[in-house]
Structure formats: C-alpha cells, structure tokens
Structure 1
Amino acid sequence: MEAPGVRLLVPGNVRHTSGGNAYNAALLRALAQLGVATETLPVDGGWPVGGPADRGALRRLLTASDAGRVTLVDGLVACGAPEELEAAAAAGTPAWILLHMPLAAHPDLERRALRAAAGVICTSNTAAAALRTAHGLRDADGGIHVAVPGTDPAAPAAGSAPPHLLVLAALLPNKDQQLLLSALAQLTDLDWTATLAGSDTADPGYAARLRRQAGRPGLAERVRIPGELRGAALDAEWSAADLSLLVSRSETYGLVVTESLARGVPVIVRDGTGAVEALAAGTPGTSVDTSTAAAPAVPGAAVDLREDPAPLAALLRRWLTDPALRAAWRAAAHAARGRLPGWDATARAVLDILGRPAGPRQRPGLPPHTAN
C-alpha cells in the first residue's frame, strides 16, 4: 500500500539553526527519498502559544481537508495551541505532534494538546521520558512514540596540532558557552585552539558578552567566535576538530553530538541531559559511565556540571595532557561512526508509527480532567 503524504507544520519564528529545525528538514528529505510526498508549512507567530491571529491561522491549516496526507505539527507550535488541535480532531482532521522537547512553561496547555492529538512522536527517548514524567504517564500508556534522529555520512576529521576544540551551538544562555570559556581560561598553560560557532542573532546581548569574555588575555589569541558557519567554512571546522563539546544546561538529544561521532570526533557533554543519550547512540547496549572519564566503549564523557567550571576544566586538562585518553576516545568515536543509524531509519520509524491505528481519543493515556 502506498504510504500517505506528510505535511509538517513548523514554527516560522525559529530562524536560526537548531536541532529541531535540522531534524525536521532531514526527516522530510528522507521521507521524500522513500517516495513519500512531503510539504513543509511554516506557521508564523510568537510560538509557543502565539497570539489569537497566530492560532487562528493554525486552526485554518489544521481543519482544512487534505485527503491522503497526514499532518505533523512541530511541538513548539502544537503544545501551546490545544484548542486548535481540538478543533482539528472535531473536524475529522486530527494532527500528530512531532515533539522535540516538552513545553515545561505551559504544562496544562501541553496536556490538552497531547490529549487532542492523533498521537505524539518524540525525537528522543529523553524527550519521551520527560513527557511521561511531566504528565504522570506510564511506559505502557499509548500514543507516545519515539523516532530517534539519524545521521548523514561524513568524512572522518583530520584533526589539528595543537588540538582543536569545536562547539557548534547557537549563542544562547542555555548552551552555556560562558561556563566553557571560564573553564578554558584555566587551561592557558596548555596548547589548544577553540571555535565557538553558532547563530548570534537570537540573543545578541549574550553573544556580545561571550565575545568580550573570549577577548580576554589568554583566550583572545586562541578562541574564535565567528557566528553561524555553513558550507565550506563549516566543513573546514569539522575537519580540524579533535574534540567537540555540548555543555547545554538542558538538551533532549543534541544532534551535533551524533554529527560529531559521524566524523570520528569524540564529545564532552553535560551529565543529566539528553546529550548523554546521543553520546551513546553509536555504542548499542552500553550507557555512558559518568564515574570515569575513560569509559572504554564511550566516545567521550559526560561531566557533572553546575555553576562551577572546575570539573570541565579538570576533564579537559586530563584530555589535553593524556595521549592515551585522547587515543581511546578517538578510537571509540571511530567505532561508533560505523554504527550510527541513517535518516532513512528515522523516516521508516515515523512511517511505521503513522501507520498504526489511532485507537480511542485520549491517545496518550490522559484522563479528560487530569490535575496539574
């Protein structure tokens, strides 16, 4: 039987490169390669939640008859607009939610949206677990599914001398580049260089503070903050990388982690975030051991971080001064490189989920009047 077409409604107000945007685009490319008709529909508005006009436009899109196509709505739009999803369900055009991260600031709205949706596809096991915890769901409750990100094949990184550190993340407070720069400031007696690349338009004030911090003595001559990189400039950074870092305060996955592993580059992530799930993606049957920086099967490490940069500085110092540790992490990253799933696997998982019977309303196992 021919697979149904898929249309994906995405937030029009997220214009910088993000993991959610990257997942959405890669998923639609992979679906198209499998012969599925796809369409991306940006929905302008102040999402999440949006204003009355924003939600009205969303309602019109959701309730318009579109025979033969399944509608997916990015969770950043859907979870703050339950009335619109309820209207779509009442009109016989129920939409699925593609959820990258829970909407922690609006749990009541999210709960209603989940209840109105045809089903929910989370883009990581971490996001699914957070959703279940937030709303008191059990693993056995229906309607919550997972389609983990894939990766694109990439050439192995050549590396650099001295070692080059790469951070690819939008310049935003959650990504905590300030803590990283504070850690690097404790390592100026060692040889290394670093690039912190990412969009500087979402929070210009934070980006300016980062550049001032990176301009201090000991950092200015070895840290670059070039803004967002694309094409050949980005490829050159990946090729030069010996280690990448994602120390965000919160992540539900972290696509840049698997993009790094696809190039044989080990990664340091913050413990307790979804980036730990991504770090283990290429090592089936194992988990990241955070008790030691040298877990042999893991291509990097998860470090316990709060407000103090000292633990990160200590781990980086060990990596910079211990050739055996660098070699072990690099070897583990190269081993993981050949085991990462492709985006075709993600697309097939999504199609399998969409092909399941919708079942009764209250799909995610939520009673009609769940208390917060």
Structure 2
Amino acid sequence: MPVVRLLVPANIRHSSGGNVYNARLAEGMQSLGWEVCVLPVEGNWPHASAKERRRFGSILGAWESGQEQQSAVVLVDGLVAVGAPDELEVAAKAGRRTFVLVHMPVPETSGREALQKEARALRAASGVICTSSSAAAILKERGLPNARVALPGADPAPPATGSRPPHLLAVAALLPNKDQLLTVAALEGIQDLEWTASLVGSEQADPAYARLVKEAIARSGLAGRVQLTGELAGDALEAEWNRADLSLLVSREEAFGMVVTESLARGVPGVVRQGTGAVEALDLAGLKDADAGTRLPGAALALPHGGEADAAVLGTALRRWLEDHALQQEWRSRALEACGLLPGWEETAGNVVRALTGVE
C-alpha cells in the first residue's frame, strides 16, 4: 500500500479553505488505496522559530533507510514549506521524496526575503502541486518549477431554497484580506432596499479586525440586518447556505476560493473580486454560450481602489441584482446549471496521486 505523510500547519485553527482541502484530500487518497498519515506541525508558520523548524526537519528525516522510507512520500502544506527552506534542502540532499502543496503563493507584498524563501523551498521539493491554476501561473511567472494543478472538489448538496427578502451570505474568517469592511460599507449604501445578510466566519483569527467589523456594522445602523454568526459547521452552516440567495467573496487576494464552489454546489450564484483566483472558482463549471461566450453564475467585479470607490462599485452591483428580478433568475439558473458540472473530491485526490507518482 503506498504511503503519504501529509504535514499541515498546526497554527491555523479556524476553518479555512486550506484546512478543508487537506482533510478532504486525505479522505480521497485513502479511498484510492493510499495510507495517509496527517501530521500537524507545531509552529507559527510561516514565521516559525528555529526550534520549530528543527522539529519540522526531524520529521522530514525521521525515517531510516529501508522499505518504509522507499515507499513513503511526504506532502508538505506550502504554509509550512515556505517557512523552512533549509530543512527542505537538507531533505532533498538526503534523497527524501518531498512534495509541496501550495494553496496560495507568498504575496508580493511580503518582501524579498519571503519570496526568496519560497523559491528555495519549491526548488528543493521533488515536485510542486497547486490547488488552483492561478497559483500555478504565479509561480511560473516567478520562474519557479512548473507545478501540477489539483483543483478543489465540491460535495453535492440540495439546492438552496433562498429567502424573502433576499439573503446575502459571506462565508470567511473575519480577516483584513477577506475585506468584510468593504462588504459592510457596500451594504450601508443600499439600506433603502429589502435584504438581510450574514457574515459567517471565525472572529478569533484576528480579534482586532473582528472588532472593527462589529463597530462598522453598529455605526452604519445595520445591526438589525447584518448578522455576525461566528464560525459555523454542520447543520448550522447548512441552514445558512439554505437561506442564501447570493454569496459574496471579495477577498483582496484569493488563490481559488472554495466557498464559491460550495455556493455553486447549492445553486447559489456568487460575486467575487476580479483579478483573484475566486474568478476561476466561479467559472469552474465552464458555462458557455455560442453568442455571448462565458456565462458566469454571478459576477466578477473590478475593485482595485479600496475605500469608498470600491464600496460604491460593490453596492451598485448588489443594488442592480436586488432590483432586477430577471437578473436574479438568470444568475440562479446559471448556478443551478453549474452545480451539476463541478468536479468531486475524488477527482482532486486522483490528480494529486498522479502528481506524486509521476503519471501524466
């Protein structure tokens, strides 16, 4: 039985796309006959201490020569890998088969040193797997090794029933990159219309930012219409999806945005930020029209400026959707069409297995 050790960051404790992907990948590979050992790696990744990096290095080199080492493959979450290039280089010299799973490339804004660490880590790896085409394209632009792509899957789900008035849903931890403040500012400008909204996500990932979001909701008089639910799972999360009519993911940076495909799986259209990997997620079903070309089940908005300008663009798009019932029906029908075309997690696992085994 082939063996893979999946090393994941132990410091990401809130629900995230990366965590969900890693868990579903492990399940999918097990169903394909692989023995999967998921090992959370302690440390403040990617900014781990020397002691934490040494511990990670010991995990990479913990297996003596013999049949187990020959058959075992190590797959390291990119958040860990980019924080420990020295250890990956040592593992490469020792002949370890170590692959890196990149959920999101290091942002350009992280600085030269962080980008250099990423480059060293990925060049030391036996192979690189990206969870989105956009991530692979970024790495290629940086002159890094070509990466295989294993897009996230989506679980089948019953179509959402929606709500009256329409309910808007944003599922993401409250973090500056997810830009819930932009969403609140946009909603403030359409208070004359009927709608409700929920921001579903951890308030503990960045408590200071979560406080800013709460204050913005209160200051704009939206406390009765915008609900902060905290992180939800299971039936509580399914209930939110079931009452949703439109999902929002306006992250400043996003390699893919699994919440978008989770939305489409339920026939709920989405609004995303243009220029991010969330556009790939919204277009994953590849809906086409002979005359009009691509038919997105929602919209990808240009939001490049920040502040009031972007809030106005998002608010205008939401106003148009709320006031145009024909547009609501059009987006809904496209989302329902897309939900039957989304790949499953078994396809994701198969793509990763082919990358690990060198099968084209």
The answer to whether TM tops 0.5 is: yes
Alignment check: 8 A CA contact 2:56 2:87 kept = yes
**Rounded Cα–Cα distance in structure 2 between residues aligned with 1:111 and 1:342:** 31
Deviates more, 1:277-286 or 1:16-25: 277-286
**Rounded Cα–Cα distance in structure 1 between residues aligned with 2:177 and 2:349:** 29
**Rounded Cα–Cα distance in structure 1 between residues aligned with 2:325 and 2:259:** 24
SS in 1 for 2:222: coil
Q: Which runs of 5+ in 2 are unaligned?
A: none
**Rounded Cα–Cα distance in structure 1 between residues aligned with 2:297 and 2:286:** 9
The answer for the alignment partner of 1:15 in structure 2 is 13
Give the alignment's TM-score, normalised by structure 1: 0.89
How far does residue 216 in structure 1 lie from its aligned partner after superposition?
A: 3.3
**Rounded Cα–Cα distance in structure 1 between residues aligned with 2:219 and 2:258:** 31
**Rounded Cα–Cα distance in structure 2 between residues aligned with 1:20 and 1:212:** 29
**Rounded Cα–Cα distance in structure 1 between residues aligned with 2:234 and 2:217:** 25
Q: Deviations over 1:193-245 (max 9, x none)?
A: 00001011011011011111112354111110011111211111000000000
Correspondent of 2:140 among 128, 132, 151? 132
The answer for the alignment partner of 2:58 in structure 1 is 60
**Rounded Cα–Cα distance in structure 2 between residues aligned with 1:195 and 1:258:** 18
Deviates more, 1:349-358 or 1:241-250: 349-358
Q: How does 1:241-280 map to 2 (within 5 A)?
A: 241-280=244-283
SS in 2 for 1:187: coil
SS in 2 for 1:215: helix
The answer for the alignment partner of 1:302 in structure 2 is 300
Q: Deviations over 1:343-365 (max 9, x none)?
A: 0000000111111189xxxxxxx
The answer for the alignment partner of 1:361 in structure 2 is none
SS in 1 for 2:266: coil
Correspondent of 2:33 among 32, 35, 48? 35
The answer for the alignment partner of 1:356 in structure 2 is 358
How far does residue 143 in structure 1 lie from its aligned partner after superposition?
A: 4.3
**Rounded Cα–Cα distance in structure 2 between residues aligned with 1:153 and 1:64:** 39
SS in 2 for 1:325: helix
**Rounded Cα–Cα distance in structure 1 between residues aligned with 2:171 and 2:359:** 40
SS in 2 for 1:211: helix
Alignment check: 8 A CA contact 1:253 1:273 kept = yes
**Rounded Cα–Cα distance in structure 2 between residues aligned with 1:211 and 1:132:** 40
SS in 2 for 1:340: coil
**Rounded Cα–Cα distance in structure 1 between residues aligned with 2:287 and 2:75:** 29
**Rounded Cα–Cα distance in structure 2 between residues aligned with 1:46 and 1:186:** 39
Q: How does 1:210-249 map to 2 (within 5 A)?
A: 210-216=213-219, 218-249=221-252
The answer for the alignment partner of 2:212 in structure 1 is 209
Determine whether 1:173 maps to 2:176: yes
SS in 2 for 1:154: coil
Determine whether 1:108 maps to 2:116: yes
Alignment check: 8 A CA contact 1:296 1:328 kept = no
The answer for the alignment partner of 2:130 in structure 1 is 122
How far does residue 284 in structure 1 lie from its aligned partner after superposition?
A: 5.4
Determine whether 1:156 maps to 2:164: no
**Rounded Cα–Cα distance in structure 1 between residues aligned with 2:262 and 2:314:** 22
How far does residue 94 in structure 1 lie from its aligned partner after superposition?
A: 3.0
Q: Which amino acid aligns with 1:109?
A: K
Alignment check: 8 A CA contact 1:155 1:263 kept = yes
How far does residue 297 in structure 1 lie from its aligned partner after superposition?
A: 2.0
**Rounded Cα–Cα distance in structure 1 between residues aligned with 2:294 and 2:88:** 47
Q: Taking structure 1 as reference, are residues 350 and 217 closer, same or farther at Cα in structure 2, changes over 3 Å only?
A: closer
Q: Deviations over 1:313-366 (max 9, x none)?
A: 0000000000000000000000000000000000000111111189xxxxxxxx
Alignment check: 8 A CA contact 1:85 1:94 kept = no
- Percent identity reads 54
**Rounded Cα–Cα distance in structure 1 between residues aligned with 2:15 and 2:259:** 11
Correspondent of 1:281 among 274, 281, 284? 284
Determine whether 1:190 maps to 2:193: yes
Q: Taking structure 1 as reference, are residues 296 and 270 closer, same or farther at Cα in structure 2, changes over 3 Å only?
A: same
**Rounded Cα–Cα distance in structure 1 between residues aligned with 2:359 and 2:263:** 37
SS in 1 for 2:189: helix
**Rounded Cα–Cα distance in structure 1 between residues aligned with 2:115 and 2:251:** 22
The answer for the alignment partner of 1:290 in structure 2 is none
Q: Taking structure 1 as reference, are residues 94 and 196 closer, same or farther at Cα in structure 2, changes over 3 Å only?
A: same
Over the aligned positions, Cα root-mean-square deviation in angstroms equals 1.7
The answer for the alignment partner of 1:321 in structure 2 is 323
SS in 2 for 1:166: strand
* Larger helix share, 1 or 2: 2
Q: Deviations over 1:93-133 (max 9, x none)?
A: 13100001112321111111111100000000000111112
SS in 2 for 1:311: helix
How far does residue 55 in structure 1 lie from its aligned partner after superposition?
A: 0.7
How far does residue 155 in structure 1 lie from its aligned partner after superposition?
A: 1.1
Q: Which amino acid aligns with 1:320?
A: L
Deviates more, 1:302-311 or 1:264-273: 302-311
Q: Deviations over 1:19-39 (max 9, x none)?
A: 111110111111112221111
Give the alignment's TM-score, normalised by structure 2: 0.92
**Rounded Cα–Cα distance in structure 2 between residues aligned with 1:23 and 1:351:** 15
The answer for the alignment partner of 1:50 in structure 2 is 48
